[in-house]
């Protein structure tokens, strides 16, 4: 039998102001076919036929049919835990427990970022009267530190983590001799944008603990475990804090996005098996720095925005200056997101996001080399980063000189 969802728009928006990934309230028995109401999802459009259109308070909603033999247990929706568990791809109990604690940490961070009572945490303590008294644009802010503590607490409570390396810490933190995993993280990417309500995010990379290093002193084995090549990642994820809270993850078998339903507290699978287009029509970069770029990068950007590249259409620029947000849009729509200077961190940002990109059919490059083939030599090692559609990345690399090696007028 099939149910049609009666829409109650008021229930779909929570006090935090986020739309739920789907709208569900009361049901009425209508016919032998089950239907459900869902927002237009980017990847859903090509996969499920639109049966009927309805409009509620100016929101266009499509009613789509779901096959009765779907692999979601008949509910129409799957949580992250259900997807990764024994009824889904079965990533194993240890990794499932770890992701459960990661989810919890990110829900706390999402609430903190959205709270009107914590807006002061987005400001640096050394900014007085609007004047920056610090030395770097990326100096930790109180909200970065709180987010880092939330993640550390959750990883400790999971009992599954040996060491955590964070962008906010000078050295890795050894947690447990028995933990099977190593977690590297950027706890709150783009935090300097919070006062302007611009999207922010959290990035994770997960490795197996190198048991062959167990005999070494704690500091040494913590460091070496954290400096694994990105090719050894077993899972990676980012969480986007925006109009919706989206957790995008890979366990090495595709990239999948889950949207937080604030009415239940569950991350719901909304974008299964994401595939980045082979080529997009968007480039994302701070092109105010155009005259600081090397000749190859200037030539590439000039070419594609005039429609004279390998793709005979003019590219548009879209730049948020929040890595997770820019990458999320690129993952959905294609194109290339980049920072051509030695700014982004290989361990905490480039490796996890490149793993997600590759699992979605895309590429991650430093302008010359595949990111996941690089061996980190320092915990906070920085490099240029280019993420996106495979054909766009290949075309960009063909210009040769695309890495910006000088930074006149602004801090690294």
Burial class (CB in 10 A: 0-12, 13-18, 19+), 26: exposed
Annotated catalytic residue, options 41, 80, 144, 227:
144
Per the annotation, the verdict on 100 as an active-site residue is no
Distance (Å) of CA 192 to CA 124, 136, 189, 322: 9, 12, 9, 9
- Ramachandran sector of residue 225 (left: φ over 0; alpha: ψ -120 to 50; beta: rest): alpha
Per the annotation, the verdict on 188 as an active-site residue is yes
Burial class (CB in 10 A: 0-12, 13-18, 19+), 105: buried
End-to-end alpha carbon distance in the chain: 60
What is the residue whose two structure tokens read 């049609």? 4
- Ramachandran sector of residue 361 (left: φ over 0; alpha: ψ -120 to 50; beta: rest): left
- Given a contact cutoff of 8 angstroms between Cβ atoms, the answer to whether 170 and 115 are in contact is no
Per the annotation, the verdict on 82 as an active-site residue is no
Question: Token pair for residue 85?
Answer: 């568990």
Annotated catalytic residue, options 112, 168, 247, 331:
168
Distance (Å) of CA 68 to CA 136, 244, 310, 316: 56, 29, 44, 41
- Please tell me the distance from the alpha carbon of residue 243 to that of residue 123, in angstroms, as a whole number: 21
Annotated catalytic residue, options 44, 138, 287, 342:
138
Question: Token pair for residue 130?
Answer: 């609007």
List beta partners, residue 37.
63
- Given a contact cutoff of 8 angstroms between Cβ atoms, the answer to whether 297 and 340 are in contact is yes
Per the annotation, the verdict on 138 as an active-site residue is yes
Per the annotation, the verdict on 170 as an active-site residue is no
Half-sphere exposure of 216 (CA within 13 A, CB side): 14
- Given a contact cutoff of 8 angstroms between Cβ atoms, the answer to whether 179 and 225 are in contact is no
Annotated catalytic residue, options 186, 266, 292, 392:
186
Burial class (CB in 10 A: 0-12, 13-18, 19+), 363: buried
Annotated catalytic residue, options 261, 266, 326, 349:
349
Per the annotation, the verdict on 71 as an active-site residue is no
Annotated catalytic residue, options 96, 112, 143, 189:
189
Annotated catalytic residue, options 167, 326, 358, 392:
167
Known catalytic residues are 138, 144, 167-168, 186, 188-189, 349
């Amino acid at each position: 039998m099939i149910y049609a969802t009666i829409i109650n728009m008021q229930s779909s928006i929570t006090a935090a102001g986020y739309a739920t990934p789907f709208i569900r309230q009361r049901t009425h028995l209508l016919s032998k076919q089950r239907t459900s109401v869902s927002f237009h999802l980017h990847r859903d459009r090509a996969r499920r036929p639109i049966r009927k259109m309805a409009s509620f308070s100016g929101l266009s909603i499509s009613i789509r049919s779901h096959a009765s033999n779907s692999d979601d247990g008949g509910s129409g929706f799957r949580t992250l835990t259900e997807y990764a568990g024994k009824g889904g791809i079965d990533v194993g109990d240890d990794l499932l427990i770890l992701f459960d604690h990661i989810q919890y940490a990110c829900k706390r961070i999402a609430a903190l970022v959205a709270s009107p009572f914590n807006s002061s945490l987005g400001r640096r303590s050394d900014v007085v009267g609007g004047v920056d008294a610090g030395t770097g644009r990326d100096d930790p802010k109180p909200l970065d530190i709180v987010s880092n503590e939330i993640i550390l607490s959750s990883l400790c409570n999971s009992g599954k983590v040996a060491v955590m390396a964070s962008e906010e810490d000078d050295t890795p933190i050894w947690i447990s001799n028995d933990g099977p995993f190593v977690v590297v993280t950027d706890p709150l990417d783009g935090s300097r944008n919070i006062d302007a309500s611009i999207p922010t995010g959290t990035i994770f990379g997960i490795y197996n603990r190198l048991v062959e290093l167990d005999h070494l002193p704690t500091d040494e084995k913590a460091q070496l475990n954290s400096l694994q090549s990105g090719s050894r990642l077993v899972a990676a994820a980012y969480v986007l804090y925006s109009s919706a809270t989206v957790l995008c993850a890979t366990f090495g078998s595709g990239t999948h996005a889950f949207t937080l339903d604030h009415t239940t507290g569950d991350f719901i699978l909304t974008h299964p098996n994401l595939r980045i287009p082979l080529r997009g029509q968007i480039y994302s970069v701070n092109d105010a720095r155009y005259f600081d770029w090397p000749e190859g990068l200037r030539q590439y950007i000039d070419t594609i925005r005039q429609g004279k590249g390998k793709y005979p259409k003019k590219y548009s620029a879209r730049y948020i200056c929040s890595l997770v947000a820019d990458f999320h849009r690129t993952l959905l729509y294609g194109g290339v997101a980049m920072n051509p200077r030695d700014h982004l961190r290989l361990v905490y940002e480039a490796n996890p996001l490149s793993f997600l990109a590759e699992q979605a059919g895309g590429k991650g490059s430093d302008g010359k080399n595949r990111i996941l083939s690089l061996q980190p030599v320092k915990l906070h090692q920085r490099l240029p980063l280019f993420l996106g559609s495979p054909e766009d990345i290949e075309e960009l690399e063909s210009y040769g000189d695309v890495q910006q090696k000088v930074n006149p007028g602004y801090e690294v």
